[in-house]
């Protein structure tokens, strides 16, 4: 989502400036072009040379002087017209006050005021002492900033450089990078609540063994992130994965299919959309051994009795006042045929079908959207990009049911 985007990164004078260096590196890794604008306060903590080296571009640091090594007239106009978005991280209480009241006494504040708000969205990542953050003046300024349509990333709660503990820490660079796509995403799910399942389930055989599958959870987590970027309040019910929780998403960890069903039933009330992405085991052993099953002889044959696990998607879809339900079908053959049969059996409007063995653990996926209207096959693409497209498609289908 950030590949090819031109981001203005404003850096203001706070100890969290050290995080901004990593932020530039991560943005560049995502394929973004980064133009750094530093205030005089920021240069007291880190030199412009650091950011020029990391960004690969000269740094803007004065309203009155051109960038060193580059020609730039009327920087506060030209630069803002070239950029796709503007981010201030860290953003001090002083700069928040300037933004709230339209003060423009340096290059960064002039850029904020002169930007085309429709073409260059702005986000800030506040960073300050807890008492400064909680101060009524800062909170009034925050309310003004939000009312003006500016995005707020954070702050986090924790130990601060001064030794105090509370809200005011700048959120981590990885979290900021995960939130930036929101600036380029249609808020098609604003105000909506979305419940998503992801990852594999694990069905115990004994205390140390069990049945699971190769699902990495990447598709479900990408959808949770995409839904959050589209403005939704997202709850993610996840089997065991090695993935970090998408920022702003509520995550509930489960193990078995029974655990996942119980969690879905506990959280489905008030949800607008339910997306069942998890690779749920279809079978579990009828009787779980209390102790580890020992291998007594090399020629022993172990026999296990299996029973079916609960059908989570069908259970949720058939609830009174059920949310709009979307299923995933990971098949190894007859993908479309089996997906359409699954959709009809479970009584849901949309199934997203794919070749399970081809996508488990991969960064890429190719899917088909299967509904009563027909089949739409999407090209193979990265799961994070695919998730953005799927969320927009799901949002359109959901809106059509609300008319």
Which amino acids are annotated catalytic? 162
Cross-strand pairs, 367? 354
CA–CA separation, 353 vs 350, rounded Å? 10
Q: Which residues have C-beta within 8 Å of that of residue 58, sequence separation ≥ 6? A: 52, 67, 68, 69, 70
Distance in angstroms (rounded) separating the CA atoms of residues 299 and 297:
5
CB atoms within 10 A of CB 341: 14
Give me 59's structure tokens. Answer: 């740094």
Token look-up 């950030």 returns 2
CA distances from residue 318 to 263, 270, 315, 330, 354 in whole angstroms, order as listed: 16, 15, 5, 22, 24
Cβ contact 124:152 at 8 Å? yes
Structure tokens at 219: 């598709």
The label of the residue with tokens 């604008």 reads 37
User: What letter would DSSP give residue 279?
Assistant: B
d(Cα 202, Cα 239) in Å, to the nearest integer? 8
Q: Which residue has the tokens 């973004």?
A: 32
CB-CB contact of 10 with 87 (8 Å): yes
Helix (H) or strand (E) holding 341: helix 335-346
């Amino acid at each position: 989502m950030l590949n090819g985007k031109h981001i203005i990164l404003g850096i203001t004078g706070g100890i969290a400036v050290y995080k901004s260096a990593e932020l530039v590196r991560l943005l560049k890794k995502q394929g973004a072009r980064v133009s750094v604008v530093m205030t005089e306060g920021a240069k007291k903590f880190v030199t412009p040379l650091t950011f020029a080296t990391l960004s690969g571009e000269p740094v803007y640091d004065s309203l009155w002087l051109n960038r060193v090594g580059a020609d730039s007239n009327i920087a506060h106009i030209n630069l803002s017209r070239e950029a796709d978005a503007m981010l201030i991280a860290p953003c001090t209480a002083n700069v928040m006050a300037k933004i709230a009241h339209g003060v423009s006494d340096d290059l960064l504040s002039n850029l904020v005021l002169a930007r085309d708000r429709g073409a260059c969205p702005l986000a800030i990542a506040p960073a300050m002492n807890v008492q400064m953050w909680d101060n009524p003046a800062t909170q009034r300024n925050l309310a003004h900033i939000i009312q003006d349509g500016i995005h707020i990333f954070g702050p986090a709660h924790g130990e601060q450089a001064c030794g105090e503990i509370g809200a005011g820490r700048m959120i981590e660079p990885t979290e900021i990078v995960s939130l930036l796509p929101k600036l380029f995403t249609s808020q098609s799910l604003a105000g909506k609540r979305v419940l998503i399942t992801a990852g594999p389930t694990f069905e115990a055989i004994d205390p140390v063994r069990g049945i699971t599958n190769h699902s990495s959870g990447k598709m479900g987590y990408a959808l949770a992130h995409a839904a959050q970027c589209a403005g939704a309040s997202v709850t993610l019910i996840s089997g065991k994965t090695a993935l970090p929780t998408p920022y702003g998403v509520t995550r509930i960890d489960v193990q078995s299919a029974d655990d996942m069903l119980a969690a879905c039933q506990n959280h489905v009330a008030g949800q607008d959309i339910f997306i069942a992405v998890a690779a749920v085991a279809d079978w579990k052993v009828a009787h779980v051994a209390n102790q580890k099953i020992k291998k007594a002889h090399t020629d022993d044959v172990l026999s296990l009795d299996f029973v079916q696990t609960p059908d989570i998607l069908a259970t949720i879809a058939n609830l009174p006042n059920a949310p709009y339900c979307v299923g995933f079908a990971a098949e190894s053959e007859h993908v479309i045929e089996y997906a359409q049969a699954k959709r009809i059996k479970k009584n849901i409007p949309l199934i997203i079908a794919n070749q399970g063995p081809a996508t488990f653990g991969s960064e890429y996926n190719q899917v088909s959207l299967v509904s009563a209207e027909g089949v739409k096959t999407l090209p193979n693409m990265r799961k994070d990009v695919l998730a953005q497209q799927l969320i927009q498609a799901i949002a359109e289908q959901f809106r059509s049911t609300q008319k």
